[in-house]
A and B are shown apart, each in its own frame.
Chain A
Amino acid sequence: MQRSLFARQPSVLVFISLLAVFTIVITVLSEGFGLGLVSTSFVKILGKTLCLCLVAIAMDLVWGYCGILSLGHFAFFGLGGYMIGMWLMYERTKDIVIASLAGAELPPTAEEIREGIGTQIFGVVGGSEIPVVWYFADSLFAQLALVVLVPGLLALVFGWLAFRSRVTGVYLSILTQAMTLALSLYLFQNDSGLRGNNGLSGLQNIPGLTHLPQSVVSVWFFLASAFALGAGYLVAAWVVSGKFGNVIRAIRDDETRIRFMGYPVEAYKLVVFTLTAVIAAIAGALYYPQAGIINPAEIAPIASIYLAVWVAIGGRGRLYGAVIGAATVSLLSSWFTGGQAPSIPLGFYTIDWVDWWQVLLGLGFVLVTLFMPKGIGGLFDRLVRKDAA
């Protein structure tokens, strides 16, 4: 039975090679490292899309393979962004404060620098004290650890509570949605210590790398995102292909039967839930330095539902489906809402896609659910079957 991962999951090899080719092509065409045919802002869009694909893989793992429709995975994504954002913003502000105090007659004390940073960051919410949650903000390694630890622990505690009391199905979806809402409402407060609805900004400026132009930094982040996506795909493929994968798929199909067979269903679900939360957080930590800004609106429940929509359109229960769905919908969405799509004049009314894209998306999504339950990824099945026949 012990075949190699690539033999069990033929899509892995195809996916990794396609991703590698895509990455190399974009790098060669980019402004920072090559011909300059692809603009810096488009490299950023592609890099962000890769991060969204990664969080979609996490969503597919937890929903498509394990049957837990979590409406909270974008909250983990956002938390990851907040954790890295704290370091980026703190260190960047520190550089600015030290530079502005350099001309003073007396060299600044450590307290004065801290006070300057506090005023710079928290003046907008009417404070100058640096809150406790920023304790580790001056250490990159600590914050990188928090990117994994904070969302991971939240998922672990929440999942433990939820699975322990056998909350399943739509109840669990609603409960995760409530968690997401609570988190975003909490972050919206000015005294949450994370700048309320202002969020964290200026994240595209990487401390220590400010001498590099954005065109170069954007390619680095693009490469990092591509690497993370490839690694995430491998991890997910490995998870779903072994015995563990069989068990979680069985939990999805008939939880009670698996419990009666003696498997600790709760533990399996908890592992998947926490693992995917961590993957989502890593994706978020790569996404927000490219986006430049994060605020609580990003975490709002609707974002997590969109995540589920991407996965459903792409095709659940197949990893490449999640990637296809996330890439297609998010790129289409930015194309339509960016005002680039041509309006359709109907004579009596002009369909402006900025206004009507949401309607198209919503109805399109209903149609996919009704008539293509396997999503776009389902089309590949037919291709393969035709080849075989």
Chain B
Amino acid sequence: MLRICLVLIAALIALAPAHAQEGNLNTVLEAYRANIEKPSRTTITPVLEALVESQAPGVAVFLEKWREKELWQRKSDGRFFYVSKADGGKLMLTDIATGEEAGLADAAELDNLKPNSGVRGVIAAALVQFQLSDPDPERRLQALTALERDANQSHLSILRAAIESEQDPAIRTRKERLQRLLTIKFGFDQATRVAAIESFAGDPGVDARAALNPLLATSIQAFDAVPEGVNVARILTPGRDIEADAAYQLLVDAGKARPIVPLAERKQALVTNIRDGRVGGLPVAELVTQEARDRAYLALAADGSVPPLVTADERQEAVAGHVFAEVYAEPDAALTEAAEETLADINGTVGVYRFLDLALDGLSLASIYFLAAIGLAITFGVMGVINMAHGEFIMIGAYTGYVVQQFIPNYTASILVALPLAFAVAFLAGVALERLVIRHLAHRPLETLLATFGISIALQQIAKNIFGTQARPLTSPSWLDGAWVVNDVVSISYIRIAIFVLALVFLGLLLFILNRTRLGLEVRAVTQNPRMASSMGINPDRINMLTFGLGSGIAGIAGVAIGLFAKVTSELGSGYIVQSFMTVVVGGVGNIWGTLAGAGMIGSLQKLIEFFNPSNTLAAQTYMIIFIIIFIQFRPKGIIALKGRAAGD
């Protein structure tokens, strides 16, 4: 083993100037000329062995050229060359061993050797050992990736040899990991395999689980007595661990019991035995229950015209007289035991990471809900106005982003322009809505709800008329592509991180505006007591207008954020409106922290329900809403309720 390594290192050093040991490679090729000319999967094995044995420089290059069908043979003397195009339609020959030019030749004087794909596969496998020690780290990584996908027993020793010479620590770690994985699969002795298996305890990697799971593959078998000499996973009790019918079928398959005549065949047998409108002594018209059909069949079976029915007693007896067991395909109990334990340990770790991943998912959903709902919370909290058109402000923001991208092709720049522009457009739309409609419906909240709903359907249809019904893309800048991958279980896309950051920024910004600025002071005053605020010189109309604009503007920004991961359609906003209301109501009206709490609760709860029922997101939403309805029973004012006079009672 060590010898090969040393040689490989020597070969590496010697590889660049390829003329150091001239002749060596050519002699080997000469010796196996017939095999190389007409290669097959079996005949090239000695050639490859000899080539590797020869330790000649240039073997790797030769194998690669051969595989790539770039090897040529001169017809006159049967020697092999590499060729390159030369002037005058001639081909320039290159000596394989020395790499020196060996004169010109016509294409007709040469044969191009084209090994079939099976042979090329064998050559590629032999090549791996050279590639694993290639000076170019990129190619070493490629070779590793190829091995990770598809390896066989022979690669294990090659890989072990290649680890010693590895200088790059990252690649070395990867090689060692692959070595352990291959040991699990192909290792020769029990001890090293068990050691390799146990080394993966607590490792969340998918490859580790993929290596361990085949070891634990089982099949259910039937035995006459308690089995010995096989690696039993567990004994199955019929009726509890295995259904009696399935157990009986197992016996039938093993030839240990008579097959049951299926229902359809019994029916067919009855049909073929109808004589003069009667079958088995019963008139056909009476056979309208399964029980009557069974009687007719038994009568037929009694006179031998159909195969007899297997009675329930017979089946029970046969099942009781045998032992059923899950048997590992892997005969070595020590291995399966180690794999079982290690896998249990891995699953424990994976469970923890899953939970972490779930928490991240919940957090990102919560930040989306927060962004979508916070604008609503402001208008609802301050003015007591339900704005059904809030979803359409989200849509306006998303379409603003789309339009900006039509004019500014640079995605980073366009997003930077789109965010403030979406705020401005939605702000203006909000101010217009407040001045034209909502102001005139003061103190009539239900009518405000319906009037804004009218605005909502009009805006949706206008968007549909302008942009069409098909989804419009809002492309994120390339630095937001991809995901932050912690390990095979935990990952989160950068867009979601960006949205989380955006939500945090807005949380901070709103807290600052409401608690530290003059506008915020006036807004809080109007929220708590509009008439008193008005008598203190605050103009409530102006504050209402600005608040409504602010809430709508934030919805516009949320629209850009949502558009980045969802397709922009005219229904974009209406998909979020009910969730937004829920967030506000659950959280508690008129309070930013309340909205945060509501968004956090709804986001994480929805992900949790989806986790338990991953195939069905519709059901998750249904349960979610039912949960909220029940939750409101217990806290009608939300998680964080305003107290005292501000509560509005």
Interface residues in chain A, defined as those with a beta carbon under 8 Å from any beta carbon in chain B: 69, 105-111, 158, 161, 164-167, 169-171, 173-175, 177-179, 181-182, 185-186, 188-189, 191, 301-302, 305, 308-309, 312, 355-356, 358-359, 361-366, 369-370, 373
CB-defined contacts of B225 to chain A, threshold 8 Å = none
Cβ contact within 8 Å between A161 and B636 = no
Q: Which of B74-82, B143-151, B156-164, B441-449 binds A?
A: B441-449
CB-defined contacts of A373 to chain B, threshold 8 Å = 447
Alpha-carbon distance A308/B446, docked complex (angstroms)? 10
Q: Which one of B451, B574, B581 lies within 8 Å of A369 (CB-CB)?
A: B451
Q: Which one of A106, A179, A188, A361 lies within 8 Å of B271 (CB-CB)?
A: A106
Closest residue on chain B to residue A300 by CB atoms: B574
Q: Which one of A171, A181, A370 lies within 8 Å of B451 (CB-CB)?
A: A370
Q: Which one of A171, A186, A359 lies within 8 Å of B458 (CB-CB)?
A: A359
Tell me if B's interface is mostly helix, strand, loop or mixed: helix
Cβ contact within 8 Å between B458 and A370 = no
Cβ contact within 8 Å between B270 and A106 = yes
Is there a chain A Cβ closer than 8 Å to B460's Cβ? yes
Cβ contact within 8 Å between B450 and A167 = no
Q: Which one of A167, A186, A189, A363 lies within 8 Å of B632 (CB-CB)?
A: A167
Known interface pairs A110-B289, A182-B622, A356-B461. Does A362 touch B628 (Cβ–Cβ under 8 Å)?
no
CB-defined contacts of B625 to chain A, threshold 8 Å = 178-179, 181-182, 185
Cβ of A198 to closest chain B Cβ, rounded Å: 14
Cβ of A48 to closest chain B Cβ, rounded Å: 21
CB-defined contacts of A188 to chain B, threshold 8 Å = 618
Cβ contact within 8 Å between A301 and B578 = yes
Alpha-carbon distance A334/B267, docked complex (angstroms)? 54
Using A110-B289, A174-B582, A175-B629 as known contacts, list a sample of 9 further A-B pairs with CB atoms less than 8 Å apart, ordered by residue number in A. Answer: A105-B284, A109-B288, A161-B629, A167-B632, A178-B581, A178-B628, A185-B625, A191-B616, A366-B451
Cβ contact within 8 Å between A185 and B289 = no
Cβ contact within 8 Å between B449 and A173 = yes
Cβ contact within 8 Å between B585 and A189 = no
CB-defined contacts of B632 to chain A, threshold 8 Å = 165, 167, 171, 175
Q: Which one of B450, B462, B630 lies within 8 Å of A308 (CB-CB)?
A: B450
Alpha-carbon distance A166/B271, docked complex (angstroms)? 68
Closest residue on chain A to residue B619 by CB atoms: A189
Q: A174, A302, A305: which has the most chain B beta carbons within 10 Å? A: A174
CB-defined contacts of A186 to chain B, threshold 8 Å = 618-619, 622
List 8 tightest A-B contacts by C-beta distance, closest first: A362-B458, A358-B461, A365-B454, A182-B625, A362-B457, A366-B454, A369-B451, A362-B454
Cβ contact within 8 Å between B287 and A363 = no
Cβ contact within 8 Å between B456 and A362 = yes
Alpha-carbon distance A110/B289, docked complex (angstroms)? 7
Cβ contact within 8 Å between A355 and B465 = yes
Cβ contact within 8 Å between A358 and B293 = no
Alpha-carbon distance A171/B586, docked complex (angstroms)? 11
Q: How many residues of B contact A (CB 8 A)?
A: 53
Cβ of B498 to closest chain A Cβ, rounded Å: 29
Cβ contact within 8 Å between A305 and B453 = yes
Cβ of B639 to closest chain A Cβ, rounded Å: 15
Alpha-carbon distance A358/B463, docked complex (angstroms)? 11
Q: Which one of B288, B460, B582, B633 lies within 8 Å of A358 (CB-CB)?
A: B460
Q: Which one of B284, B440, B445, B582 lies within 8 Å of A170 (CB-CB)?
A: B445
Closest residue on chain B to residue A104 by CB atoms: B271
Contacting residues of chain B (107-158) with chain A, CB-CB under 8 angstroms: none
Cβ contact within 8 Å between B270 and A369 = no
Closest residue on chain B to residue A184 by CB atoms: B622
Q: Which one of A165, A185, A309 lies within 8 Å of B636 (CB-CB)?
A: A165
Is there a chain A Cβ closer than 8 Å to B274's Cβ? yes
Closest residue on chain B to residue A107 by CB atoms: B288
Is there a chain A Cβ closer than 8 Å to B299's Cβ? no
Is there a chain A Cβ closer than 8 Å to B435's Cβ? no
Q: A164, A165, A178, A365: which has the most chain B beta carbons within 10 Å? A: A178
Residues 609-649 of chain B, each 1 if its beta carbon lies under 8 Å from chain A, else 0: 00000001011011001101110111010000000000000
Is there a chain A Cβ closer than 8 Å to B464's Cβ? yes
Alpha-carbon distance A169/B447, docked complex (angstroms)? 11
Cβ contact within 8 Å between A174 and B386 = yes
Q: Which one of A161, A189, A356 lies within 8 Å of B633 (CB-CB)?
A: A161
CB-defined contacts of B619 to chain A, threshold 8 Å = 185-186, 189
Alpha-carbon distance A164/B636, docked complex (angstroms)? 10
Cβ contact within 8 Å between B464 and A365 = no
Is there a chain A Cβ closer than 8 Å to B260's Cβ? no
Alpha-carbon distance A383/B574, docked complex (angstroms)? 41
Closest residue on chain B to residue A108 by CB atoms: B288
Cβ contact within 8 Å between A178 and B629 = yes
Is there a chain A Cβ closer than 8 Å to B483's Cβ? no
Q: Which one of A305, A355, A366 lies within 8 Å of B461 (CB-CB)?
A: A355
Known interface pairs A167-B636, A170-B386, A189-B619. Does A359 touch B288 (Cβ–Cβ under 8 Å)?
no
Cβ contact within 8 Å between B454 and A178 = no
Alpha-carbon distance A131/B447, docked complex (angstroms)? 42
A–B pairs, 15, beta carbons within 8 Å: A109-B293, A164-B633, A165-B632, A170-B386, A170-B445, A174-B578, A174-B581, A177-B578, A178-B625, A181-B625, A182-B621, A182-B626, A189-B622, A359-B461, A363-B455
Cβ of A269 to closest chain B Cβ, rounded Å: 15
CB-defined contacts of A178 to chain B, threshold 8 Å = 578, 581-582, 625, 628-629
Is there a chain A Cβ closer than 8 Å to B2's Cβ? no
Is there a chain A Cβ closer than 8 Å to B410's Cβ? no
CB-defined contacts of A301 to chain B, threshold 8 Å = 578
CB-defined contacts of A355 to chain B, threshold 8 Å = 461, 464-465
Contacting residues of chain B (463-506) with chain A, CB-CB under 8 angstroms: 464-465
Alpha-carbon distance A309/B284, docked complex (angstroms)? 62
CB-defined contacts of A169 to chain B, threshold 8 Å = 445-446
Cβ of B361 to closest chain A Cβ, rounded Å: 20
